[in-house]
């Protein structure tokens, strides 16, 4: 598994060394040119980045990246103590600006390289449904954050106890009082340099399930948000950035919302496991809407190989999430579901020996504008990236791929899936 603290420490040491070298070579023509580039970038970036840069510098000095652990006087970016800190630690703040400048340059250069290689869209960005209660986003805008609550989901078939994600929601009334400026800034920053943006839990544009912090999801309730106002902002920023928008609309969705999003040309999110015909078999790929992104699975669901083997059921039983009789029943249901999936693939003419290839032929046969392929499926990983409801159980979000990224194209599945989607692209003319 990936040791993120160790990786972070290694990266930080490298960035600190780059920053020292940047200063030590200030007299060279190359560094002078780079410094002018950094200064020019900061003119436009500093107003939106200042709170984040200050948060990072404060975390360095206080030794902890948790706003709640800092001394009194540092509650938000515009206190007298924070302004004094900014004057006293200019170099630390500038170091973090240097890091952000490098990151933004690399993001844009990666997008340029993708497009030069023939990619239609370029990189896809991802917008999480919320931000860490301890982190920079919450610290930067305390007036619009409902700190006594956390975002979640009510009990449903996916999570019988409901879900609480630890992320504080924005208060819709405070957001409106601010003219929705924080949301505009968020959209603009996330879409910058991206060819597409996936909005996690897009239902948040209309309503969010608030759970009292420390309470149970069953104690929560839905809070309404101004859908039309937020959707207008998404559309305007999408036009400005020439950025496709994908709305992750899985879970509890109020009737009519998907239709409204489709009217705004927001792509829906279709997952093979959930697309079924009336008899329970995998649906005809032609039944999927064109205005959608389609995938075999998601990071919160089993990989294709793991789903067939019911490894997610094994793990839930091992962790005590389900008891033994329930696990036996779930495995039997999974075997039946595999048979229904196979029947749907056969009916759609998706043939071959490898199920991963057949399922991606089904994706390619749909009319959906975009298909998403998970590297875990390409690399043959059996465990899903994340098992919801088990936040502290390894290896959630920490699985290594069994092959280096630069060696992926040697994998048989990589080549096979590349051929499948190349043939689809040729058929539809790009």
User: What confidence tens digit (pLDDT) does each residue in 379-400 have?
Assistant: 999 999 999 878 778 789 999 9
Return left, alpha or beta for 202; rule: phi > 0 is left, psi -120 to 50 is alpha, else beta: alpha
pLDDT of 403 higher than 70 = yes
pTM of structure:
0.92
pLDDT of 430 higher than 70 = no
Mean pLDDT on 259-268: 97
Residue 239: φ, ψ to 5°: -65, -45
Q: Are the beta carbons of 337 and 345 closer than 8 angstroms?
A: no
Q: Are the beta carbons of 359 and 345 closer than 8 angstroms?
A: yes
Q: Is the dihedral angle over the CA atoms 199, 205, 206, 212 positive or is it negative?
A: positive
Q: How far apart are alpha carbons 310 and 335 in whole angstroms?
A: 8
Name the average pLDDT for the chain.
94
């Amino acid at each position: 598994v990936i040791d993120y603290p160790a990786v972070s420490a290694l990266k930080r040491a490298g960035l600190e060394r780059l920053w020292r070298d940047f200063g030590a070579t200030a007299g060279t023509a190359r560094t002078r040119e780079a410094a002018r580039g950094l200064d020019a970038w900061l003119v436009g970036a500093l107003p939106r980045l200042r709170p984040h840069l200050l948060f990072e510098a404060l975390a360095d000095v206080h030794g902890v990246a948790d706003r709640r652990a800092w001394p009194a006087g540092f509650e938000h970016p515009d206190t007298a103590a924070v302004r004094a800190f900014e004057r006293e630690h200019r170099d630390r703040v500038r170091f973090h600006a240097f890091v952000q400048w490098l990151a933004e340059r690399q993001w844009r250069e990666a997008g340029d390289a993708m497009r030069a290689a023939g990619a239609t869209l370029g990189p896809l960005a991802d917008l999480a449904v919320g931000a860490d209660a301890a982190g920079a986003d919450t610290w930067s805008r305390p007036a619009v954050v409902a700190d006594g609550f956390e975002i979640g989901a009510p009990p449903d078939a996916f999570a019988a106890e409901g879900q609480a994600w630890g992320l504080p929601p924005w208060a819709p009334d405070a957001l409106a009082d601010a003219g929705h400026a924080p949301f505009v800034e968020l959209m603009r920053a996330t879409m910058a340099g991206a060819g597409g943006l996936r909005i996690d839990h897009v239902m948040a544009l209309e309503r969010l399930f608030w759970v009292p912090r420390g309470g149970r999801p069953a104690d929560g309730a839905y809070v309404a948000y101004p859908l039309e106002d937020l959707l207008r902002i998404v559309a305007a920023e999408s036009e400005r950035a020439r950025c496709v928008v994908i709305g992750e609309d899985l879970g509890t969705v109020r009737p009519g919302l998907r239709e409204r999003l489709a009217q705004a040309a927001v792509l829906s999110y279709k997952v093979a496991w959930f697309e079924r015909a009336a008899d329970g078999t995998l649906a005809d790929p032609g039944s999927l809407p064109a205005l959608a992104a389609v995938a075999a699975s998601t990071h919160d669901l089993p990989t294709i190989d793991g789903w067939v083997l019911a490894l997610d059921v094994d793990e839930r039983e091992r962790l005590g999430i389900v008891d033994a009789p329930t696990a036996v029943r779930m495995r039997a249901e999974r075997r039946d579901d595999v048979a229904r999936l196979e029947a749907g693939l056969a009916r759609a003419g998706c043939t071959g020996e490898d199920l991963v290839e057949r399922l991606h032929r089904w994706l390619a046969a749909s009319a959906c504008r975009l298909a998403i392929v998970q590297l875990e499926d390409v690399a043959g990983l059996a465990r899903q990236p994340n098992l919801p409801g088990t936040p502290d159980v390894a290896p959630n979000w920490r699985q290594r791929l069994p092959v280096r990224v630069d060696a992926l194209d040697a994998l048989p599945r990589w080549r096979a899936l590349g051929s499948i989607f190349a043939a689809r692209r040729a058929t539809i003319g790009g």
